[in-house]
Amino acid sequence: MDLNKVMIIGRATNNLQVKTIESSGTPVVNFTVATNRKFKNKEGNVLEDAEYHRCVAYGKGAEVLTKYLTKGKRIYIEGRLRTRKWQDSEGNDKFSTEIIVDNFIFLDPKGHEGEEGHIVDGPVIDVPDDEDVPF
C-alpha cells in the first residue's frame, strides 16, 4: 500500500483570493504556508530556517480559507503532495510541488493577531457544509 500524506503547521504568507475553475465552477485558492525550524550549528549557535509550502484548496474549503485565513495567521494543514510539470516559453521543463489540502484547523483564536496560537477544540475541518468555523 502507498501513502501520500502531508501534515504541517505554519503561518500564511499572503492574503488569499478565491478563483473559480471555469469548466466546473469549482472554487479554488492557492496560498503559501511558511514553516520554521530552529537548530544548533557545529559552533552551538541557534539558527532558524524557513520552508515555504505551496498549498491548493478546492470547493467549500477554498471558500472558508479565503474568508478566514489572512497573512500571519497560524494553520494546521493535512493533505497530499502533487507535482505538476509544464514548459516555459523557451520550452524548458518546469516543476512545482504543492500540497492539495484535504483538512485544516485554524490555530489562532478568533480575532487574535499575536505570535502564539492554540489548537482549537473540535474536529478538523473537512470541506464543511456550512459557515460555522470553529476558532
CATH of the domain at 62: 2.40.50.140
Is 121 a domain residue?
no
Is 49 a domain residue?
yes
Is 88 a domain residue?
yes
- Average pLDDT, integer, range 108-114: 63
Per the CB < 8 A criterion, the answer to whether 56 and 43 are in contact is: no
What tens digit of pLDDT does each residue of 41-78 get?
A: 999 999 999 999 999 999 999 999 999 999 999 999 99
pLDDT of 97 reads: 95
Is 131 a domain residue?
no
Is 128 a domain residue?
no
Is 98 a domain residue?
yes
What tens digit of pLDDT does each residue of 87-109 get?
A: 999 999 999 999 999 999 999 88
Is 41 a domain residue?
yes
What secondary structure, in 3-state letters, does 4-62 show?
CCEEEEEEECCCCCCEECCCCCCEEEEEEEEEEEEEECCCCCEEEEEEEEEEEEEHHHH
Number of domains in the chain: 1
Structural domain for 88, as ranges: 6-106
Is 134 a domain residue?
no
The CA-based diameter of the chain, rounded to the nearest angstrom, is 56
